[in-house]
Each structure stands twice: as C-alpha cells, then as structure tokens.
A = this chain, B = another copy of it.
Amino acid sequence: MPNTADDLRAIALAEFTTAGYSATSLHRIAELAGLSKSSVLYHYSSKETLLEATVAPAIDRMTAILDELSSGPFTPARRTAFLEEFVDFILQYRREVNLFINQGPSLIDVPVIDRANEVVYRLAEHFAATTGSIEDKMRFGIALGGAAYTLCSQDELGFALPIDETRAALVTILTELLAPIPVASLSNQEK
C-alpha cells in the first residue's frame, strides 16, 4: 500500500514527463493528488526535492547495473546479457529516462541530474561512445534517445503496445544498432 509520499512521486513523475518540469506547478500536482499545495510541500520541502525523489530510483538502479558489470571482464556474451538488462531498465524506468533525456540539459542546476549525467557517461563508456568513431557515438545516442522517445510517446498518446512485443522489438533494434561497435573497445573500462 503506497503512502502519500509515493503517490506524489508517481504523480509528479507522470506530469514532469508529459507536461515538463518547468510547466508543472505544485498546484497541479496537489490537484491530481487531491491535496493542497502546502500538503505537497510537507512531504517534499521543495519542487526540486520532489524532482530528485522522482528520478533517484532510476539512477540507483542503473548504478547497480553498472557496478555489477564492472566487477568482471566484458565478454561478448556478457555484452548480450547486458543489452537485455539495459532494455529492461529502459522499459521499467521509461518515464525517468525520458525526463532525463528530454529535460536534463535544462536542469543543470539540480544536483541529482549531475548524478544522472555521470551514470550516462559510465554507460557510454561501455558502448564506446566516449572513445569510438563519430558513427559509434551517434549509434549510442540514437539508441538511447530513440528508445526514450519511442517508449514515452506511446504513453502520451494513450495507447500501450504489448509489453512482450515491445521488449523483443527493442532488443532486436538496439542489438542491430549497437552491433557495429567493436567489442574490443568495450573492455576499455577495465583500464
């Protein structure tokens, strides 16, 4: 049973991703939660605190995935497994990813966004997006930005594609998209 704080976090996440962080007022969030602005500010001392609580779980999860990955050699087999884990992450945290991808650059003042940027940088290392060719960089960017856009525009349009088919398609497309990146460079993180 979710408490009020969790409800607010969920509502804020939905509004921040669809209407935008700046365009979403505390009044709007309070309205959707059936509360007053002040009650919202009781649970989260500021709008920024609410934003942080909203994206933190996704950052923690991705950090854990990357930590686990760094604990051993990045073989081609593990790379495939990692890609599926990555797809599952994007599916589970698609709103948070979309929020970061679309609005991250405009939220540079918020500390939690810096944490997210660091995580993306670590992720990019695994896909040679920091050391590879221009095409490699673009492949990584298109995979990340494209996945975030595609998955979240579904929610906005009100319809949801079947999860199994969506996941399978995403694995196929991302595998194909990232395949040309040489595996050799993927172990750079071991240095």
Contacts and interface: CB of A to CB of B under 8 A. Distances in A.
Interface of A: 18-20, 22-23, 101-103, 105-106, 134-135, 137-139, 141-150, 153, 156, 161-162, 165-166, 169-170, 172-173, 176-177
A138 B165 CA distance: 11
Contacts of A139: 173
A48 B85 CA distance: 42
25 contacts: A18-B105, A18-B106, A20-B20, A20-B23, A102-B102, A102-B103, A134-B162, A135-B173, A138-B150, A139-B173, A142-B146, A142-B147, A142-B149, A142-B150, A143-B146, A144-B146, A145-B145, A145-B146, A145-B148, A145-B150, A146-B146, A146-B149, A148-B149, A176-B176, A176-B177
Contacts of A134: 161-162, 165-166, 169
A23 B20 CA distance: 9
Contacts of A166: 134, 138
Name the prevailing secondary structure of the A interface residues. helix
Contacts of A135: 165, 169, 172-173
- Nearest first, the 7 closest Cβ-Cβ pairs linking A and B are A145-B149, A146-B146, A142-B146, A141-B150, A22-B23, A135-B169, A102-B102
A109 B147 CA distance: 26
A148 to B, nearest CB: 7
A147 B146 CA distance: 7
A59 to B, nearest CB: 18
Contacts of A148: 145, 149
